């Protein structure tokens, strides 16, 4: 495992490394903060680099934790090889464990957003011994869950139609300027309708991700990956890991009451609402989100 130490940013110690996982894939991994603090693994959503976790959020979380974020397969600086070596979505959960193994982290707090929250549910089922706690937001309950007498399937709305239209264009070839406009518009819809949206804030994020990735190509591998083997929602009834489900009231991907349904399926779960939160992480939401996460990870069992 080759390690490169980065210059300190704002006094925050950071390191980068590459971790080899299954099927010949190599993942970019960054750690931030004091390795002596409790580890916290950030698991990002589909087709999104680990840089999707805002720098400001990493910095706030690192005051109490040794923070780890990484690029999924086929994102960022990790290996891009889906068309030659396809994999199921559930393999991405195994990658998260491989990152912990490579860093010699026996147990960690794990935070998952969107698809990352789906992967955290799989970790709760298959690797509970590796989790100190779990935090999930922007995610739906795994399929196959036991019926909920209070929330029927028809009570669970699907994604905003504007997102479905944008997702139909995933993976299309666009010149950098057009791709940047597409990504900013995508974030605008994901942000929801309450918090102000700053075009330049998200344009700057996407420029940094493109520089980090070395390409403006729009990743779409996770949308093509096999989704079988994840109809396991009923098994979450046996979960005892302290779990926080964050309700994002403005989420256009998994709108309410998705978070409530998920929390009710996990006996050890607590449901907390972060007002204004959608399916994006603008700077305005970072302080309350960080405070909500650290309030959970700081609890004693």
How many residues are listed for the chain in this entry? 301
The CATH code of the domain at 3-157+222-297 is 3.40.50.1820
199-242 pLDDT, tens digit per residue, is 999 999 999 999 999 999 988 999 999 999 999 999 999 999 99
> According to the model, what pLDDT value does residue 300 have?
59
**Token code pair at residue 241:** 């890991």
- 251 with 278: CB under 8 angstroms? yes
> According to the model, what pLDDT value does residue 11 have?
67
Mean predicted confidence (pLDDT) in 41-56:
97
Confidence of residue 7 (pLDDT cuts 50, 70, 90): very low
**Token code pair at residue 234:** 């009923």
Half-sphere CA count of 83, side-chain side, radius 13 A = 3
**Token code pair at residue 222:** 């996770």
Catalytic site residues? 114, 251, 279
b or e along 261-285 (b: 16 or more beta carbons within 10 Å of the residue's beta carbon)?
Answer: bbbbbbebbeebebebbbbbbbebb
What single DSSP character describes residue 34? -
């Amino acid at each position: 495992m080759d390690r490169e130490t980065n210059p300190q940013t704002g006094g925050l110690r950071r390191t980068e490394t590459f971790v080899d996982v299954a099927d010949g894939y190599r993942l970019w991994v960054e750690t931030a903060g004091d390795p002596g603090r409790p580890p916290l693994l950030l698991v990002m959503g589909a087709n999104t680099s680990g840089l999707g976790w805002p720098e400001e959020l990493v910095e706030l979380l690192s005051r109490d934790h040794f923070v780890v974020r990484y690029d999924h397969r086929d994102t960022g600086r990790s290996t891009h090889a889906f068309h030659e070596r396809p994999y199921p979505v559930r393999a991405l959960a195994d990658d998260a464990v491989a990152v912990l193994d490579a860093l010699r982290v026996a147990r960690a707090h794990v935070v998952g957003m969107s698809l990352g929250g789906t992967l955290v549910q799989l970790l709760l089922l298959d690797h509970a011994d590796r989790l100190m706690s779990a935090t999930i937001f922007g995610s739906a309950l795994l399929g196959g869950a036991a019926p909920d007498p209070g929330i029927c399937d028809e009570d669970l709305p699907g994604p905003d139609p504007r997102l479905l239209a944008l997702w139909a264009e995933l993976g299309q070839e666009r010149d950098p300027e057009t791709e940047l406009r597409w990504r900013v518009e995508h974030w605008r819809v994901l942000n929801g309708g309450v918090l102000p949206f700053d075009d330049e804030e998200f344009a700057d994020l996407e420029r940094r991700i493109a520089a980090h990735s070395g390409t403006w190509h729009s990743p779409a591998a996770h949308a093509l990956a096999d989704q079988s083997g994840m109809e396991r929602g009923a098994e979450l009834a046996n979960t005892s890991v302290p779990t926080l489900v964050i309700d994002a009231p403005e989420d256009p991907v998994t709108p309410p009451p998705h978070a409530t349904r998920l929390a009710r399926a996990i006996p050890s779960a607590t449901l907390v609402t972060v007002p204004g939160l959608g399916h994006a992480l603008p700077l305005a939401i970072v302080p309350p989100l960080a405070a909500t996460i650290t309030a959970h990870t700081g609890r004693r069992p």
